[in-house]
Homo-oligomer: A and B are copies of this chain.
Amino acid sequence: MSDYTKILLEENEIPTQWYNVVPDLPEPPPPQLHPGTLQPATAEDFAALFPRALIEQEMSVERYIDIPGEVLDVYRLWRPSPLFRARRLEKLLDTPAKIFYKYEGVSPAGSHKPNTAVPQVFYNAQEGITKLTTETGAGQWGSSLAFACAQFGLECEIWQVAASYRAKPYRRTMMEIWGGKVHPSPSEVTEYGRSLLAKDPDHPGSLGIAISEAVGEAVASENTRYALGSVLNHVLLHQTVIGEEALLQLAKVGETPDVLVGCTGGGSNFGGLAFPFLREKLAGRMNPVIRCVEPTACPTLTKGQFRYDFGDTAGLTPLMKMHTLGHSFIPEPIHAGGLRYHGMAPLVSHVYQLGLVEAIAIPQTECFAGAVQFARCEGIVPAPEPTHAIAAAIREALACRESGEEKTILTALCGHGHLDLASYDQYLRGEMVDLELSDEAIAAAMAEVPVLA
């Protein structure tokens, strides 16, 4: 086993419980607030949006939550996912570091998103819900939810950020193959969408706007609920299968990470990989540096403020305390659509605020340069989002070349880029630019964030 390229697990080694980091943290995270009363949101406040089981998970302080058998059955279509040792990349970089990456692109939708789409649909189906609405940016989440709805026989209606809808028609096709119904957002089918289109018929949309449309539709329709692909506690909970498997896989080859890097948009891929390792760190069983990587064009953690803000643009969601650039902030159209979100998962924000994890921002040309190096060595063409994780892993490996340290680096390649090749085309033709965000742009959006006592 000493010359392995990948570490596989058997189906019976899929974790049977999700891990909730909340009870292990030195301080509990601040509660979500009702946007009207500004009091801590109750289970009832969420009832129009989510099924009871997911609301319980959202608020849970249990350390472990059992994964239902029906969910495990679907997970088996692609899980456990492989953990690779990037030996060819190490050789190219001439580094003494070991680079491991957990690859979630083996799922049907091509990313980590089905890890939470499947249980979300399952719990809705259990409670008699017949239709789910959601938003999607690059399309990874929308296709994951459509796939999951096909597994449990639910309808699925998706608002896709208009810029992505137009730039990536094939993601829409993928959603339709699995039975999903897709609208560009802003859309003509909601009042909020129509109001935005009236001002700008070519509105590029944003995740925040698409969330407003999907939430509005769910609240207005019977037997319909909303599903969110990131940010919320229960989403990060479901994603911990990534980190739990990675822990088991590293243990099989006798490794513990010195550095863990993951890309952060809403925070679910990062939380899913990092939280089980954070548990081990807090328990003193290992001591990895844990680092978030975000795009310089949407630097939520490194340039945003830790404030109560809305999850969506219209201000329909509960207020969440998180790192935010302001809910009215519309990020530049960088290629990593999944990282174009104004906020950060409250749990990721909280552990960052507590100093338990670090954060850096990397410009997209450096990310794509790293991704092309990676693809030529390792074969897999990464999605634009995890190019950030790869670029950070390469930075770390090159630092090890300088210092001579034999660090073990762990990252997550959270999806493949098969439906994002236009971004590589732009990069290869030398037409990709780095979008630096001005302090003025951030200040303008922050001015609209509610000021709470």
- Point out residues on A near B: beta carbons under 8 Å: 4-6, 8, 10-11, 73, 76-78, 84, 88, 106-110, 147, 150-151, 169-170, 173-174, 176-179, 372, 375-381, 416, 418-419, 421-422, 424-425, 428
C-alpha spacing A8/B375, complex, angstroms: 24
Docked Cα-Cα span, A8 to B176, in Å, equals 30
A443 to B: closest C-beta gap in Å: 38
In the complex, the answer to whether B77 meets A110 with C-beta atoms within 8 Å is no
Cβ-closest 7 pairs across A and B: A108-B379, A418-B418, A5-B76, A170-B421, A173-B421, A150-B376, A173-B425
Query: Hey, which chain B residues are within 8 Å of A110, CB to CB?
Result: 418
Given A108-B379, A108-B381, A428 and B77 touching (CB < 8 A)? no
Question: A375's closest neighbor in chain B, by CB?
Answer: B177
A88-B151, A150-B376 provided; 7 other pairs, C-beta below 8 A?
A5-B76, A77-B84, A78-B379, A108-B379, A177-B372, A178-B375, A179-B376
Hey, which chain B residues are within 8 Å of A4, CB to CB?
A: 11, 76
**Is the pair A428, B176 in contact by a Cβ cutoff of 8 Å?**
yes
Question: Chain B residues near A178 (CB, 8 Å)?
Answer: 375-376
| Chain B residues, CB < 8 A from A378 | 77, 108
- Neighbouring B residues of A381 by C-beta, 8 Å: 108, 174, 177
Cα(A424)–Cα(B174), bound, Å: 8
Please name all residues of chain B whose beta carbon is closer than 8 Å to the beta carbon of A379 when the two chains form the complex.
77-78, 107-109, 147
> Hey, which chain B residues are within 8 Å of A11, CB to CB?
4-6
Complex Cα spacing A380 to B108, Å: 5
Looking across the interface, which residue of chain B has its beta carbon closest to that of A170? Answer: B421
Q: Which of B5, B106, B108, B425 contacts A169 (CB 8 A)?
A: B425
Query: How distant is A215 from chain B, measured CB to nearest CB, in Å?
Result: 27
- Kindly state the separation between the CA atoms of A108 and B5 in the bound complex, as whole angstroms: 14
A80 to chain B, nearest CB (A): 9
The docked-state distance in angstroms from the alpha carbon of A173 to that of B372 is: 11
A-B contacts, 7 of them at CB < 8 A, read: A4-B76, A170-B421, A170-B425, A173-B422, A174-B421, A174-B424, A178-B375
**Chain B residue, CB-CB nearest to A371:** B177
B residues within 8 A CB of A147? 379
- Do A8 and B8 touch across chains, with their CB atoms under 8 A apart? yes
Q: Contact partner of A177 among B6, B10, B150, B424, CB < 8 A?
A: B424
Determine the chain B residues whose CB is within 8 A of the CB of A107 once the complex forms.
379
CA A375 – CA B150 in complex, angstroms?
9
CB-nearest residue of chain B relative to A149? B376
Residues of B within 8 Å of A428, CB to CB, are: 173, 176-177
A176-B428, A375-B178 are contacts. A8–B5 as well, Cβ < 8 Å?
no
Check A8/B10 contact, CB under 8 A, given A147-B379, A177-B381, A375-B178.
Answer: yes
For the complex, what is the distance from the CA of A325 to the CA of B321, rounded to whole Å?
68
The residue of chain B having its C-beta at the shortest distance from the C-beta of A368 within the complex is B177
Bound complex: CA A228 to CA B26 (Å): 61
Task: Tell me the minimal C-beta distance from A353 to chain B in angstroms.
Answer: 38
CB-CB < 8 A to A376: which residues of B? Answer: 150, 177-179
Give the CA-CA distance A181 to B174 in the complex, in Å.
Answer: 29
Q: How far is the CA of A426 from the CA of B155 in the complex (A)?
A: 22
Indicate whether A6 sits within 8 Å of B425 (C-beta atoms), given known contacts A372-B177, A375-B177. no
- Bound-complex Cα distance A107 to B380 (A): 8
